Chains A and B, each alone.
Chain A
Amino acid sequence: MSSSTDKTVKLPAEPPLVTGNLGFHDITQLVSYHTEKRPPSVWYMALAVSSTLLCILLLMIAYLVWNGVGVWGNNNPVGWGWPIVNFVFWVGIGHAGTLISAILFLFRQQWRTAINRSAEAMTIFAVICALLFPTIHVGRVWVIYWTLPLPNQMEMWPQFKSPLLWDVFAVSVYFTVSLVFWYIGMVPDLATLRDRARNAFKRRILGFFSLGWSGANRHWRNYEKTYLLLAALATPLVLSVHSVVSFDFAVSIIPGWHTTIFPPYFVAGAIFSGFAMVMTLLILARRIYGIENIITIDHLEKMAIITLLTGTMVGFAYITEFFIAWYSQVEYEQYAFLNRATGPYAWAYWIMMSCNLLFPQFFWIKRLRRSIPFLFVTSIIVNIGMWFERFVITVTSLHRDFLPSSWDYFNPTIVDILTFVGSFGLFLTLFLIFLRYLPMVSMAEVKMVLPESDPHHYDDNHSKSEPH
């Protein structure tokens, strides 16, 4: 076929979303296989480490509940320390999944199909970690249910003016919707697994969760409709949840917290850290499970670009805060920011600045954003930076506020550190279990983006080869 007869407009060539000439069955095989065979030994090693960390987390929580919040470094004036930093950190990470599956779905970004399943799983596990921290950080954890609007004889309701209460609703709604979205998206794949299952017990379980899926046209129709609706429902939540988290700070009157830029700045930061975490996890998973053809270097490069974009936005916000502090001419505000950059926590501030603003700038260079080792290192650096961002916001604002007489310093304790490290145990254990038992890539959706799934694919003798 000569090109002269082709009337279609040539767009710049998009790289294929799936490489390696994979067919439908190849994809099914490649993904399902890992839930059926014995996992690789590296999986067992990882599980051993992460479940140990999980045990440490449980021990730390028991120690905390037995003795009281004093086992942490919190004090007066720094009422919120690491637990809240960790909360915001994990909520932030829990952002990427729903963004990828909902917003990118609505924008028809088809490259999302390779990564959305594991990103959503990561979201759910990160939100579980996030929910843990505000729960255990209260002084009397046994009455945490008072934050829920439960009817009682005193007609005592939660206080709806409090941003913490908004948090309770925002995060729990986000968690519920993300979970449902994730599960609904997984139904066709669960049915695939059910059909492949050799063991009756497994088949029954998968059969229950695949909701009687038979791949009928009606099923697909309903499925697509539901998925679209859920995506539309989840989209505002992606923006709202971190905006609400930012209200915890922005609604207060503390210099350094009382900032109107917080909602967009927090959302950008969350996407930034979420993508970094997806990168960290997937760079490992694609390698270990040999699915480099499904999650290709092009996928990673796209994520790197988003990281560059959001990192720059976050950096812009940092600088804007300084400008506004100067422009406001408010002594307390000016001091709060000066103290961040030059005070006793300046080291944390400069870690934050370099990790979040400086490092992602290397992604301007194409060679670097396509370099797996560089991506991996940067993704970790970004998450370190984002943890420090929350630390800087929470601790440096509190430790020196209006009256110099109450200024103090915050020192974390070993319990603070082990609880945070332990939360990675919870996260990774859940993620490893996910990798072991559930399809880590959305097979159905990846198949949809194969050129073969185009109904007209075979119409004019187009071969499977790449378009010229």
Chain B
Amino acid sequence: MISLPVIDAPTRDLNRRLWRSRPHLDQDPDLIEMASEELIPGASDTPSGSNRRHFMQLLGASMAMAGLAACRRPVEYIMPFSDRPEELIPGVPLRYATAMNFRGIARPLLAKSYDGRPVKIEGNPEHPNASGSSGVFEQASLLQLYDPDRSKNILRTGSPASWNDFLTLCEQIQIGNRRIAVLASPDSSPTRNRLRTQLETQFPGATWIEYRSEGDDVETLGLQMIYGQALRPVYDFANADVIVSLDANFLGPHARNGDWNTRSFAQSRKLNGADDQMSRLYVAESTYTSTGTLADHRKRMRSNDISGLANQIASFLGIHSGETPDAFAASIAADLQNANGRCLILAGETQPAEVHALCALMNETLGAIGTTVTLLDTEVPMQIPQSQAFPELIEEMEAGQIDLLLMLGVNPVYDAPSSLNFPEAMSRVMETIHVGLHVDETARMSTWHLPLTHYLEAWGDGRSWDGTLTVAQPLIAPLYEDAKSEIEVLHTLVNGQHTKGYDLVRETWTPVLEDQNFESAWRRTLHDGYLQDTGFASVTPAASFDGQLATPDNRLELVFRLDPTILDGSFANNAWCQELPDPITKIVWDNVAVISPKTAEDYGLVCEYSKGRYYADVVTLAADGQEIELPIWILPGHADNTISVTMGYGREISTTRPERDTPFWDKDDETDIYARGTLATGVGTNVSKLRNLLAQPVLTGVELTATGRKWTIVTTQDHGILDTEARPLIRMATLDEYRQDPAFALQDEAPTPSSDMKTDFQDYPELWKNNHPAKSPAYRDSDYWQNQWGMVIDLNTCTGCNACIVACQAENNIQVVGKKEVGNGRELHWLRVDRYFLSEGDMDLDADPQIVMQPMPCQHCENAPCESVCPVAATVHSPDGTNQMIYNRCIGTRYCANNCPYKVRRYNFYNWSKTIPDTVQMAQNPNVSIRFRGVMEKCSFCIQRIRETQKRAGLEKRPLHRDEVATACQQACSAESITFGDLNDDQSKVSQAMRNPRGYKLLAELNVKPRVSYLARVRNPNQDLEPVG
């Protein structure tokens, strides 16, 4: 290199030596080498070991030659906090316990916040009624906060008004004897209950209705019918050997206690060894649901006929003397009886209260109460059915008896049965106040609209399913100044003055915590998110039932259900939810009238598949003079002579956001899902128009006529019946077969070159340790290889509820592409849940196939076919065994996606991240790169979580704890179907799951050595119904 005589000249006096330490004096070669370098070894070396200085010389020379002087990066200003907020370290997330009100139940949560910005929701793992898991709606509620179409201003008859104007109104109504009515969304908040009592005192004769868009709370009403008080059942599926579901989708994403149910049910289905017990699930249902996919025996029946089945079982059990049971009912009943109380029978939300009552009575008779069913006293008075109270209120409104109607978080103009003519009644009320997240159908017809805060913006409280008192604390100040929480509005209305939500909640909690030091107890509660030992007491009241089941009506029936992705429409403007495929039909961005193949044939209806899209016949459904138009969907396994529809579509939400308009050559306005108004508007049809006066979930005597028109339906999966013999993707056995050969999944598996060698990952660490290609110690000595990540997915417990998909979407900044692009096959979900119809034997293929779900993340193959074909090495294997996607390096040849046998790679066909609105940008996880157009992306095993945990362990100078890292999908899964962890640790959960005899690897014969294993499915059929042999 450069030689300078001054430096290179030898030292004159060789006898006198200065030395720093003994190794220096001894000329320790390591020290000499270290001292000769400018920086510590590895810090300035290139991978091949050439010198930094050398490189700088070359770089300098080429710079000088290029004469590059004109380029300048845009100036960016970084604003520091002038005062650092307490506990906030930039880039280090904080987690707060909070709770979300979901259908009147507080769901305990842990929300993660970066620099004051909530970015991810998880379940609160310490809460007595929750684990760390969470459902679709909890996950998606994050995007609700950042919904760009949220209402921002107080409106009075459509024009902006101020909070002071509203205060004036509240002051005025204090005077005189005003009749007030409140329609409030169900909520378990003690503070709201306290204010309700205040309201009822302040305004005598006030009406308060907990308004549910789906109608009566049949479960509570049913129990009330036989026990005389409002009770809440807790089902302990883990203790049940026989479970009977009568149209009850208790595992569905919209089940009120779905998280608990799923966890508990999954425990009864886990098989680790040949001797493990497994529950048996019977399902009778009209449409295919998540619960139905897990049934050991599923019978498709019209919802209307299910009460008949309940009756038959009851009569077999000696409760009712009525119909003689058929073979199916008799087998169920006998099985129930043989379970010695370790059984339970439950009815679904489509069933009338009487069926619920009958089920409770059967549980009582079977001895299940106390064993598998616990009844909790919810401490509320007897419920008056909504189907009775709501029409009464409307009558009063029409008579002009109501002076003020307050609507808290409800949207009755949209979802009340149109035969009740709610909008007309509303116009007779002097002041109608709507409090909601959006300027929606009801807001536009109300005299007042107040923007509602999101639960992450406001103080609140609630009770979880078991009654545990739970606090909902905000993580962020309201994004919009005018937004107020329900309790704040309620309090203002009652008292005529504004008090902060924080004070209102504290006021409620003061008596609760009175026997302790309030401040410290309150802080403790906030930290934990709940107050210990505040659950509802379990009771065992005496039962008496004299109700009569309605006789089934054989006419064509229409069943209304909550939508598994957008619920009752409250999640309709949520991009994640709209693009979430329906668990069964896999339809996105639409609602349909689901019918069976036979019904379709009877009415001459078709749903044609052509070139990647479905073209469905549009039909008119008419009842009581009202009619709606919906495209049909033909679902094998659906009951005949019944139609299933879901609520929540056909919304009309107003927005003030300008439309995106680009020149004709720029497709940004087409590819931006937010470009033209609100997301929800114009998607699907509002079905509540057809509902009868009582808003019953099942409507009979519906007229179905074809319109002759077609509607394009987009799904993320094609229809298809799988021949399991030829393609062993899903492997199944009955419990008996499993007992005989627990490793049945590996029978007949094609041999692979690796199958007779060492186990797949055994030689991997040594490879990295001893044969690392890099010369630089910084690369060579990276100890990432000490962990070998892997995943196991249990097909026996997966319900296909989609929670993992939304969790993945929230964690990994996965963009939403819209109906058209999903139709083009360009959805971006990193994790998908494959749904397969499965028929065995000579069964009528269309009539009764099974459905099996198979979650499909990247399999992180050891011999990854994607890695070897990338021309620029943009997808590579990490030392810890993950298949990594280097977005910066990707040039987008899509060869990797072609060569992926699992087709889990997703491509950015457009610049989807460019157009996301400012507020939605706030929802993005700062630890995950936003992908530009033209690059490939895919599941990374949540590498950012792995590295974050490793960093934390490094800072704390400790090894990683066992099972310390959890992927987003694993964390969300209530069924604990997904296990992730370190394969190098013999005792980690994933290593144990890998040893499960049911394990198999998908497409193992390709010798790609996937790191994801599946545990084969086991069915537990009743031999009376399905003779062996």
Q: Which residues of A contact B (CB under 8 A)?
A: 62-63, 66-71, 73-80, 134, 137-140, 143-144, 146-147, 153-159, 161-165, 168, 248, 251-254, 331-332, 335, 344, 398, 401-411
Contacts and interface: CB of A to CB of B under 8 A. Distances in A.
Contacts of A146: 872, 889, 891
Most buried by B among A153, A253, A402: A253
Contact of A163 (B718, B869, B892, B1006): B869
Contacts of A140: 890-892, 932-935
Interface string B820-857: 01001111000010111000000000000000001010
B14 to A, nearest CB: 41
Given A76-B905, A401-B901, A403-B729, 16 more contacts: A67-B666, A68-B933, A69-B933, A69-B934, A70-B671, A70-B821, A70-B824, A74-B907, A79-B907, A139-B890, A140-B892, A153-B59, A157-B873, A164-B895, A252-B899, A254-B898
Nearest to A71: B667
Given A403-B729, A403-B856, A68 B869 contact: no
B836 to A, nearest CB: 7
A77 B909 CA distance: 13
9 contacts: A69-B909, A74-B907, A143-B891, A159-B870, A162-B895, A248-B895, A251-B869, A403-B902, A411-B612
B910 A70 contact: yes
Given A63-B665, A155-B48, A79 B897 contact: yes
A140 B890 CA distance: 8
Contacts of A62: 665
Given A139-B933, A159-B872, A404-B720, A77 B891 contact: no
A253 B899 contact: yes
Nearest to A398: B898
Contact of B611 (A77, A253, A411): A411
A71 B891 CA distance: 17
B120 interface: no
Contact of A155 (B46, B893, B899): B46
Interface of B: 46-48, 55, 59, 611-612, 665-667, 671, 717-718, 720, 722, 726-727, 729, 821, 824-827, 832, 834-836, 854, 856, 865, 868-873, 889-895, 897-899, 901-903, 905-911, 932-936, 1003, 1006, 1008
B834 A147 contact: no
Contacts, number: 191
* Most chain A CB within a 10 A radius of its CB, from B59, B717, B899, B936: B899
A139 B865 contact: no
A68 B910 contact: yes
A402 B899 CA distance: 11
A232 B60 CA distance: 44
B856 A405 contact: yes
- Shortest beta-carbon contacts, A-B, top 6: A139-B892, A139-B934, A75-B825, A70-B909, A79-B894, A405-B834
A160 to B, nearest CB: 9
A462 to B, nearest CB: 60
Nearest to B873: A159
A159 B611 CA distance: 36
B871 A164 contact: yes
A161 B909 contact: no
A331 B898 contact: no
B1006 A156 contact: no
B330 to A, nearest CB: 38
B958 to A, nearest CB: 33
Contacts of A344: 611
A19 B718 CA distance: 63
Given A79-B898, A140-B935, A253-B899, A153 B871 contact: no
Given A76-B825, A79-B907, A405 B727 contact: no
B869 A252 contact: yes
Question: Most B CB atoms within 10 A — which of A63, A75, A252, A401?
Answer: A75
Contacts of B835: 405
Given A67-B666, A68-B934, A70-B667, A138 B902 contact: no
B870 A162 contact: yes
B611 A409 contact: yes
Given A159-B873, A165-B871, A80 B718 contact: no
A58 B832 CA distance: 38
Contacts of B932: 140
A164 B612 CA distance: 29
A162 B932 CA distance: 23
B734 to A, nearest CB: 24
Contacts of B718: 404-405, 407-408
Contact of A159 (B824, B834, B871): B871
B865 A138 contact: no
B869 A162 contact: yes
A134 B827 CA distance: 24
A163 to B, nearest CB: 7
Contact of B894 (A80, A156, A168, A332): A80
Contacts of B902: 402-403, 406
A401 B903 contact: yes
Contacts of A68: 667, 908-911, 933-934
A70 B865 CA distance: 24
Contacts of A147: 871-872, 891
A277 to B, nearest CB: 27
Contacts of A67: 665-667, 671, 910
Given A69-B909, A161-B868, A78 B825 contact: yes
A404 B869 contact: no
A363 B162 CA distance: 88
Nearest to A145: B891
Contacts of A155: 46-48
B71 to A, nearest CB: 15
Most buried by A among B46, B612, B911: B612
Nearest to A75: B825
Contact of B1003 (A73, A154, A402, A411): A402
Contacts of A248: 895
Contacts of A78: 825
Most chain A beta carbons < 10 A, residue from B667, B825, B827: B825
A62 B935 CA distance: 19
B587 to A, nearest CB: 15
A333 B899 CA distance: 15
A66 B670 CA distance: 14
Nearest to B903: A406
B774 to A, nearest CB: 10
Contacts of B893: 134, 137-139, 164
A332 B1006 CA distance: 11
Contacts of B55: 153
Contact of B871 (A79, A168, A332, A403): A168
B865 A253 contact: yes
A73 B824 contact: yes
B871 A158 contact: yes
Contacts of A253: 865, 899, 901, 1006, 1008
Contacts of A168: 871
B864 to A, nearest CB: 11
Contacts of A161: 868-869
Q: Which of A70, A74, A401, A407 has the most CB of B within 10 A?
A: A70
A125 B832 CA distance: 45
A139 B899 contact: no
B59 A138 contact: no
Contacts of B1006: 253
A71 B911 CA distance: 12
A155 B773 CA distance: 13
Contacts of B826: 70, 75-76
Contacts of B726: 331, 335
A353 to B, nearest CB: 22
A143 B825 CA distance: 26
A147 B895 CA distance: 14
Nearest to B667: A67
Nearest to B869: A162
A46 B235 CA distance: 80
A404 B1002 CA distance: 13
